[in-house]
């Protein structure tokens, strides 16, 4: 890496550590104007927007990349999952960029930008372990009645059922599902997975296509939603689907809030149509104060923390490092976006 680039990165990291973000942005602007052209010996990777954290810089360098301004870059690590229009502007001004790495597994905010002219990758699979752990936690808490006991102020009677030997249905066949299936091994569950592409999965008893989802709901003790949000999966669980579930079944959502029709879920919980719901994601999100779901004893809500920032940094950093290294070596990148599937 050239001396000017090293000096720039050191100065920006210092400013970030001392919470002088506005000066860090100005330093980035100066560097983009006055820096020399990058060397040809390492992949030229940009970080944007200017608020991209310094650990992403470290991840790029660990992969053998050289951090350069977008105008000189062949690849771009995008650090702002909720700023698609800012990314659009960067790409408009740096049309030579050939590869974009997005920070989240869910890419619904960026679908209108994704094209066939560039290679797009996302964080699919990166957060599988912590999110699967959250799903398992909710399954156990709900089925063993911890949600109810935690609200009590006096001794009460026994409630709950075993996860051991339960029938578990998972919607989605990606990294979260694979991790959850492995975590369920000691519980000897019968596991059904519903996914777009039917193929054998280790530890799974039955894999069904999405047009057989009704078969997977009936008889399940717990249903887990761990799939991407696409037009086909929005509103996946509504009144009809809830009525087809067992009266004591639990519905766990660690995917996206819009997989479930919220008003229908409220109805089902109020009328004991299902046993309960564990929601790490909601629609709307954040869930408004005073919403009926907050006070329901048969509903567990966490504020989209299946993967926290503290968990994400090392996981996403490792993905960035690996993909920069693969880009330099001409190997396939991890987490490619499939435009036709929407994830």
Which residues sit opposite 18 in a β-bridge? none
304 is catalytic: yes
Sign of the C-alpha dihedral computed for residues 57, 61, 65 and 68 taken in this order: positive
112 is catalytic: no
285 is catalytic: yes
Torsion, Cα 307 308 313 319, to 10 degrees, reads 10
The count of other CB atoms within 10 Å of the CB of residue 240 is 11
Number of H helices, E strands in the chain: 11, 12
Which residues sit opposite 47 in a β-bridge? 77
Q: Is 105 buried (19+), middle (13-18) or exposed (0-12) by CB count in 10 A? A: buried
175-183 vs 128-143: helix crossing angle, rounded to 10? 50
Given the residues 72, 256, 259, 319, the one annotated as active site: 256
Given the residues 12, 72, 195, 304, the one annotated as active site: 304
For the record, the structure tokens of 317 come out as 């950093």
Q: Is 174 buried (19+), middle (13-18) or exposed (0-12) by CB count in 10 A? A: middle
Contact 8, 47 (CB under 8 A): no
Alpha-carbon distance 247 to 236, whole Å? 19
Kindly list the catalytic residues: 256, 285, 304
């Amino acid at each position: 890496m050239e001396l000017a680039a090293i000096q720039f990165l050191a100065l920006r990291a210092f400013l970030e550590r001392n919470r002088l973000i506005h000066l860090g942005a100005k330093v980035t602007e100066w560097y983009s104007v006055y820096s020399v052209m990058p060397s040809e010996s390492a992949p030229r990777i940009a970080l944007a927007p200017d608020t991209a954290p310094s650990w992403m810089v470290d991840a790029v360098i660990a992969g053998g990349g050289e951090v350069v301004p977008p105008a000189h870059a062949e690849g771009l690590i995008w650090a702002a999952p909720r700023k698609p229009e800012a990314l659009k502007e960067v790409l408009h001004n740096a049309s030579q960029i050939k590869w974009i790495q997005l920070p989240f597994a869910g890419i619904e905010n960026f679908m209108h930008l994704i094209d066939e002219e560039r290679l797009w990758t996302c964080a699919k699979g990166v957060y599988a372990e912590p999110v699967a752990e959250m799903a398992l936690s909710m399954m156990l808490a709900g089925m063993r009645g911890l949600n109810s006991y935690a609200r009590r102020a006096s001794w009460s009677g026994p409630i709950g059922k075993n996860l051991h030997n339960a029938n578990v249905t998972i919607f989605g066949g990606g990294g979260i599902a694979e991790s959850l299936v492995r975590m369920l091994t000691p519980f000897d569950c019968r596991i059904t997975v519903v996914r777009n592409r039917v193929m054998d999965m280790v530890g799974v008893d039955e894999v069904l296509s999405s047009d057989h989802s009704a078969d997977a709901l009936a008889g399940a003790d717990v249903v887990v939603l761990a799939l991407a949000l696409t037009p086909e999966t929005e509103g996946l669980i509504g009144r009809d689907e809830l009525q087809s579930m067992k009266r004591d079944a639990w519905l766990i959502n660690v995917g996206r809030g819009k997989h479930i029709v919220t008003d229908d879920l409220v109805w089902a919980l109020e009328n004991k149509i299902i046993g309960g719901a564990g929601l790490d994601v909601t629609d709307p999100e954040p869930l408004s104060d005073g919403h009926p779901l907050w006070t329901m004893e048969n509903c567990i809500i966490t504020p989209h923390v299946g993967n926290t920032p503290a968990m994400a940094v090392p996981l996403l950093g490792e993905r960035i490092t690996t993909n920069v290294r693969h880009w330099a070596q001409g190997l396939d990148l991890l987490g490619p976006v499939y435009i036709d599937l929407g994830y």
